Amino acid sequence: MADLIQIEVCYPLATKQEVVSLKVPAGTTVQAAIEASGLLAKYPEIDLKKNKLGIWNKLAKVDAVLRDKDRVEVYRPLIADPKEVRKQRAAEGKVMKKGAGEAEAGTEA
């Protein structure tokens, strides 16, 4: 019997994180672990050719071999460009600061 390793496969959703703990044979790949987790059947939007994958927050390929206690992560595509979101927040912050300053000045008088 092959040595077994303990791993987790995680898939984040908007409201929760789906985590599946598994014991798999040593030498199991990222792809094999995801397939064994049942997440592909439960979440048909997961596409191993499109979704980015990782092990403990570091990008990994489908053929990466897992080690004991590894956490495989299936990342969802970004909804918005983070740079654009920061620009929008910065612009809103400038407007809010001006508005807040006027409101404070009005209450002091």
Reduced to 3 states (helix: H, G, I; strand: E, B; else coil), residue 100 is helix
Strand ranges, E, within 13-106: 17-25, 53-55, 58-60, 71-74
Query: Which of 41, 73, 43 shows the shortest CA–CA distance to 60?
Result: 73
Looking at the fold, whether 32 and 57 belong to one and the same domain comes out as yes
Rounded distance between C-alpha atoms, residue 11 and residue 6, angstroms: 17
| Residues 70 and 82 occupy one common structural domain | no
Cα–Cα distance, 55 to 30 (Å, whole number): 8
One domain for residues 64 and 37:
yes
The pTM score is: 0.68
Q: Please answer whether residues 46 and 77 qualify as being in contact, where contact means their C-beta atoms are separated by less than 8 angstroms.
A: no
Per the structure, the complete domain to which residue 13 belongs is given by 4-74
Tell me, yes or no, whether 108 and 63 share the same domain.
Answer: no
74/45 Cα distance (integer angstroms): 11
Per residue in 40-59, pLDDT (tens digit) is: 999 999 988 889 999 999 99
Question: Over the stretch 65-93, which tens digit does the pLDDT of each residue have?
Answer: 999 999 999 998 766 666 777 877 787 77
